[in-house]
């Protein structure tokens, strides 16, 4: 082949290649880009928060001994169901029984004194007092006679001064004795004064009070349940020496249980007293009711405690188990679009493409939260507008497009 022919063939090949390329470019620029679109619509916005807490009896009590002693009987164990006033345990009561007996004896004695004080002296006592009075008068008269004789003898010089003084002292003693007996007789005959009666009555009342205290202490040697429930914990053992205040049992009413849930403070406005919630334990669920919303925020966690109560009549759930609560919060309606529809690069304003007159129209938007692979659009587009949800990354503003039906209408 000659040199001229080779050059002609090469030149022809280059021209054909160039023409082919130009033809393809012209055809591509005139082709419509296929995209998928859907109508903009609002969706219900709800948050589902999962919280957990530990079950507790709705009512519980730690029962303690109120008297000291050695435990001589234990009637219940952990898990035992008890009713109000059931005897749980007891301490040796012998010392307390003796105290009651002594207190009763003191009551009887004080009662007898009070009775005598109020009623006054008996006839026999009055007769005895009268005899003592007559005897004191006789003794006094005899002392007067003896003194007069001694005085006469002393003046005549027949007795010494010492004997005379003895006679004088005897007279004074007899006189004092007569006056004392006379006063005693008067008191016996007249009876006790009002002050003495009050004193006797007070003494009697005091012995009754002491007896009541002794009986109360005796009754407390038996430890009784203050509530209906189940024994949750036992802290004592047979033969243990306990003092007043020693904790014996923890009792809980598990017919109803409660759980305290730590709710984030930004969600607390969606919780209301009386709301129904669902609690879950393994594969079982129970309906609960919000019974209390605490007023203070936990400073360390930023949460606010919410108390939920459940009926547990069958005792299927137990204190100490951890349950979960799924709480749904309805935040109204908002526009959400597939995240692929939103173009965002670096610090530039996010945008989407709307379909208008078969053209892609670039539209700036503001975005909110991401949920289920969808972005919330807070401003920039409106309901019922058509948004390009597939192929947006290949578009420029004003591109002509061919809209295909979206699978997600």
pLDDT digits (tens, 9 = 90+) for 159-174: 888 888 888 888 888 8
Q: What is the mean pLDDT of residues 264-293?
A: 92
Burial of 300 (0-12, 13-18, 19+ CB in 10 A): exposed
Determine how β-strand 229-234 pairs with β-strand 247-264.
antiparallel
Inform me whether the pLDDT recorded for 125 exceeds 80: no
Same domain, 246 and 285: no
Inform me whether the pLDDT recorded for 177 exceeds 50: yes
User: What pLDDT was estimated at residue 408?
Assistant: 59
The pTM is what?
0.55
In angstroms, rounded to a whole number, what is the distance separating the alpha carbons of residues 219 and 209? 15
Same domain, 232 and 89: yes
Would you say 221 and 89 are in contact if contact means Cβ atoms under 8 Å apart? no
Same domain, 55 and 73: no
Whether 6 is in a domain gets the answer: no
pLDDT band at 12 (very low <50, low <70, confident <90, very high): very low
- For 327-385, the pLDDT digits (tens) are 877 777 889 999 999 998 776 899 999 999 999 999 999 998 888 888 999 999 999 89
CATH of the domain at 295: 2.40.30.170
Whether 370 is in a domain gets the answer: yes
User: What pLDDT was estimated at residue 6?
Assistant: 30
Whether 143 is in a domain gets the answer: yes
Determine how β-strand 359-364 pairs with β-strand 351-356.
antiparallel
CATH of the domain at 385: 2.40.420.20
pLDDT band at 61 (very low <50, low <70, confident <90, very high): very high
User: What pLDDT was estimated at residue 24?
Assistant: 41
Same domain, 155 and 178: yes
Looking at the 3D structure of the chain, how many domains does it have? 4
Same domain, 357 and 342: yes
In angstroms, rounded to a whole number, what is the distance separating the alpha carbons of residues 191 and 195? 12
- Per the structure, the complete domain to which residue 115 belongs is given by 99-216
Whether 83 is in a domain gets the answer: yes
User: What pLDDT was estimated at residue 352?
Assistant: 94
Name the strand (E) or helix (H) holding 39: strand 33-39
Residue that is last in its domain, among 250, 267, 295? 250
Whether 209 is in a domain gets the answer: yes
Same domain, 279 and 361: no
Q: What is the mean pLDDT of residues 95-102?
A: 94
Strand order in the sheet with 222-224: 222-224, 87-91, 69-74, 241-242
Residue that is last in its domain, among 280, 312, 330? 330
Whether 381 is in a domain gets the answer: yes
For residues 204 and 119, the model is more confident at 204
Give the pair of three-digit tokens for residue 336. 């959400």
In angstroms, rounded to a whole number, what is the distance separating the alpha carbons of residues 56 and 36? 55
Q: Give φ, ψ of 55 to 5 degrees.
A: -70, 140
Same domain, 131 and 202: yes
Whether 12 is in a domain gets the answer: no
Inform me whether the pLDDT recorded for 56 exceeds 70: yes
Residue 34, CB-side half-sphere exposure with 13 Å CA sphere? 3
Query: First and final CA of the chain: distance in angstroms?
Result: 67
Inform me whether the pLDDT recorded for 120 exceeds 90: no
Same domain, 230 and 290: no
Same domain, 341 and 288: no
Tell me which range, 104-113, 322-331, 343-352, is most confidently predicted by mean pLDDT: 104-113
Output the CA torsion sign for 381, 387, 388, 394. Answer: negative
User: What pLDDT was estimated at residue 180?
Assistant: 82
Same domain, 109 and 194: yes
Same domain, 183 and 113: yes
Inform me whether the pLDDT recorded for 283 exceeds 80: yes
Q: What is the mean pLDDT of residues 182-194?
A: 70
Inform me whether the pLDDT recorded for 38 exceeds 70: yes
- Averaged pLDDT of the chain: 85
Same domain, 270 and 341: no
Would you say 207 and 106 are in contact if contact means Cβ atoms under 8 Å apart? yes
In angstroms, rounded to a whole number, what is the distance separating the alpha carbons of residues 262 and 34? 51
Whether 394 is in a domain gets the answer: yes
Q: What is the mean pLDDT of residues 203-212?
A: 94
CATH of the domain at 70: 2.40.50.100
């Amino acid at each position: 082949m000659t040199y001229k022919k080779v050059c002609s063939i090469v030149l022809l090949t280059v021209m054909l290649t160039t023409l082919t390329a130009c033809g393809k470019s012209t055809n591509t620029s005139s082709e419509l880009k296929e995209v998928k679109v859907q109508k903009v619509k609002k969706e219900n916005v709800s948050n589902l928060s999962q919280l957990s807490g530990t079950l507790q009896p709705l009512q519980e009590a730690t029962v303690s001994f109120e008297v000291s002693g050695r435990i001589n009987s234990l009637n219940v164990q952990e898990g035992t169901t008890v009713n109000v006033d059931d005897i749980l345990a007891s301490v040796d009561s012998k010392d307390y029984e003796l105290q009651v007996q002594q207190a009763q004896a003191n009551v009887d004695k004080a009662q007898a004194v009070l009775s005598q004080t109020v009623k006054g002296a008996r006839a026999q006592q009055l007769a005895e007092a009268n005899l003592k009075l007559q005897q004191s008068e006789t003794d006094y008269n005899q002392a007067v006679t003896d003194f007069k004789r001694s005085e006469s003898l002393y003046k005549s010089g027949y007795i010494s001064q010492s004997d005379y003084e003895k006679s004088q002292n005897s007279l004074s003693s007899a006189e004092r004795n007569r006056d004392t007996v006379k006063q005693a007789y008067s008191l016996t005959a007249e009876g006790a004064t009002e002050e003495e009666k009050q004193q006797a009555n007070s003494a009697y009342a005091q012995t009754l009070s002491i007896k009541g205290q002794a009986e109360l202490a005796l009754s407390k040697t038996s430890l009784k349940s203050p509530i209906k429930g189940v024994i949750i914990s036992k802290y004592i053992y047979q033969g243990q020496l306990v003092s007043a205040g020693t904790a014996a049992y923890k009792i809980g009413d598990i017919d109803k249980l409660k759980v305290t849930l730590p709710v984030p403070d930004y969600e607390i406005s969606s919780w209301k007293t009386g709301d129904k919630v669902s609690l879950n334990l393994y594969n079982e669920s129970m309906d609960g009711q919000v019974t209390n919303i605490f007023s203070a925020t936990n400073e360390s966690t930023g949460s606010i405690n919410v108390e939920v109560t459940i009926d547990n009549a069958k005792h299927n759930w137990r204190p100490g188990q951890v349950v979960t609560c799924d709480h749904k919060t309805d935040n109204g309606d908002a526009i959400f679009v597939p995240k692929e529809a939103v173009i965002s690069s670096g610090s530039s304003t996010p945008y989407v493409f709307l379909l208008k007159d078969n053209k892609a129209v670039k539209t700036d938007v503001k975005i909110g939260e991401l949920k289920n692979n969808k972005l919330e659009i807070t401003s920039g587009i409106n309901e019922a507008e058509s948004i390009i949800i597939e192929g947006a990354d290949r578009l420029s503003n004003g591109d002509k497009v061919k809209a295909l039906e979206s699978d997600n209408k």
